């Protein structure tokens, strides 16, 4: 599986996601600009000693990533989606997109991919979940559908 973070802002969240990717074998794709330095101590601390277990790729734009994988199966996490993340069948090596903590994914990206937008159900009073929690929830559902291939 592939986890895509678009313009992440909080180093601790990205560090936690690094650890989740390491534990699951998922690749991490980071779309710039990043809201922190990759040398950030909080990022490193949250990722613990898992950095060597993760393949991390960097892109200057969403378009660059999508052009690199023209046949990719892309899914977009947003609180605005009409369908729950459990209503989709994730293919092996799917790309799971997540937006920055303060704004989510760009509206134009969501509109042009509405049929592939997913949401995590929650009470109406809650704005959203923590980014690293949302990644873990959706990633593990995608892995479950793949029968946790390669995991013990």
Q: What is the pLDDT of residue 51?
A: 80
Query: Does the pLDDT of residue 46 top 60, yes or no?
Result: no
Instruction: Summarize the annotated binding site as residue ranges.
Output: 99, 120, 128
Instruction: Summarize the annotated binding site for S-adenosyl-L-methionine as residue ranges.
Output: 99, 120, 128
Class of domain 2-145: alpha beta
The number of helix segments (H) and strand segments (E) in the chain equals: 5, 6
Q: What is the pLDDT of residue 119?
A: 97
pTM greater than 0.85 (yes/no): yes
Q: Prior bond to 33 cis, omega within 30?
A: yes
Write the CB contacts of 67 (distance below 8 Å, at least 6 apart in sequence).
none
């Amino acid at each position: 599986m592939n986890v895509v973070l678009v313009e992440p802002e909080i180093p601790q969240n990205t560090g936690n996601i690094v650890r989740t990717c390491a534990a699951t074998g998922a690749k991490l794709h980071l779309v710039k600009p990043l809201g922190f330095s990759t040398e950030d101590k909080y990022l490193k601390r949250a990722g613990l000693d898992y950095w060597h277990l993760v393949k991390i790729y960097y892109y200057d734009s969403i378009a660059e990533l999508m052009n690199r994988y023209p046949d990719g199966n892309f899914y977009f996490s947003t609180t605005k989606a009409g369908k729950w993340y459990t209503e989709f069948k994730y293919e092996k090596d799917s790309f799971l997109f997540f937006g920055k903590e303060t704004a989510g994914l760009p509206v134009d990206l969501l509109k042009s991919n509405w049929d592939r937008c997913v949401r995590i159900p929650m009470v109406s009073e809650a704005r959203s979940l923590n980014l690293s929690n949302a990644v873990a929830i959706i990633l593990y559902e995608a892995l479950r559908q793949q029968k946790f291939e390669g995991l013990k």
